[in-house]
Structure 1
Amino acid sequence: MQPKDIAKNTAKVVQDYLTYQAVKLIIDQLTETNPAEAIWLRQYSSGGKLQNGENYIDELMSELRGKQLVMRILAVRDDLAKQVLEYLPEMVGTSIKQANLEHRRRLLERLTQSSSEANNLDTELDANEPSDENK
């Protein structure tokens, strides 16, 4: 897979996630201002519908109650994207570097433990073998 394809797939995942976060934020806001609408949107959004943000929005547009919510979701999602995407490249890069460093450290610890355990086992086996003089 080419880097451009990976970037395209990553952008789709981020877009879907921002849609999810926008809906979550709107439900939280509606809980305070319009509880009935919040309940409806929460129930409508359940069951994995938000896995694909664009399909979710298309389906919500076909609902009588959903048309105004779609405009709100689009606005909130756009605002979230503006706020988040500025920091995302650096945060992802730093996070991956830190996680990789930690994984490598633990792997090295395991490898050195395995090596020292194997050396201890070899030493024990050598000590238990009869010497040439005893054969």
Structure 2
Amino acid sequence: MTYKQVVKDTARVLQSYLTYQAVKIIIDQLTETNPPQAIWLTNFSDRTKVQDSDNYLRALTLENKELVLRILTVRQDIARQILEFLPEMVDTNIEQSNIEHRRHLLERLTQTASSLEDVNPESNQSDYKE
């Protein structure tokens, strides 16, 4: 797999995630302003997978064009707001996560080495004589 394909796949997943977040925001707004429509969108979203945002939006277009336009607008607004901070935040989070996992791995390796020494203490003694 090439980095170009990884970038395309990541962008597709992020796009679907932003669609999901936009739908959540709109459902929350509709809950306050138009509860029946909030229930309808919730039910539609339960039946149609938001994980594939393009198919979700195509299906929603057949049912409610106004909601599609609203989702597109909210999704684009979210994207514009987060894209400024996202690269640095992802890099920082991955770095911190890697440090934590390496620390945990080192602890496990150290515990395993200690366990082996406890089981066979003679293998660790030095061969010097007094």
CA shift, 1:124, in A, is 7.3
Number of aligned residues? 124
**1:38: which partner in 2?**
38
Unaligned runs of at least 5 residues, structure 1: 126-135
Distance 2:94 2:49 in 1: 29
Letter in 2 for 1:58: R
**2:59: which partner in 1?**
59
TM-score, normalised relative to structure 2: 0.91
| Over 4 Å off, 4+ runs | none
User: In the superposition, relative to structure 1, how do residues 107 and 5 fare at CA in structure 2: closer, same or farther (>3 Å)?
Assistant: same
Q: Please tell me whether Structure 1 or Structure 2 has the larger radius of gyration of its CA atoms.
A: 1
CA shift, 1:47, in A, is 3.8
The share of aligned pairs that are identical, in percent, is: 58
**1:11: which partner in 2?**
11
1:98 aligns with 2:96: yes
**1:109: which partner in 2?**
107
Unaligned runs of at least 5 residues, structure 2: 124-130
CA shift, 1:87, in A, is 0.9
CA shift, 1:72, in A, is 0.4
Distance 2:104 2:39 in 1: 46
Instruction: Kindly report the root-mean-square deviation, in angstroms, between the aligned alpha carbons of the 2 structures.
Output: 1.5
Distance 2:108 2:32 in 1: 51
Q: Once the two structures are superposed, what CA deviation does each residue of 1:24-80 show, in whole Å capped at 9, x if it has no partner? A: 0000000000001000000000145101011100000011xx110011000000000
**Secondary structure of 1:49 counterpart:** coil
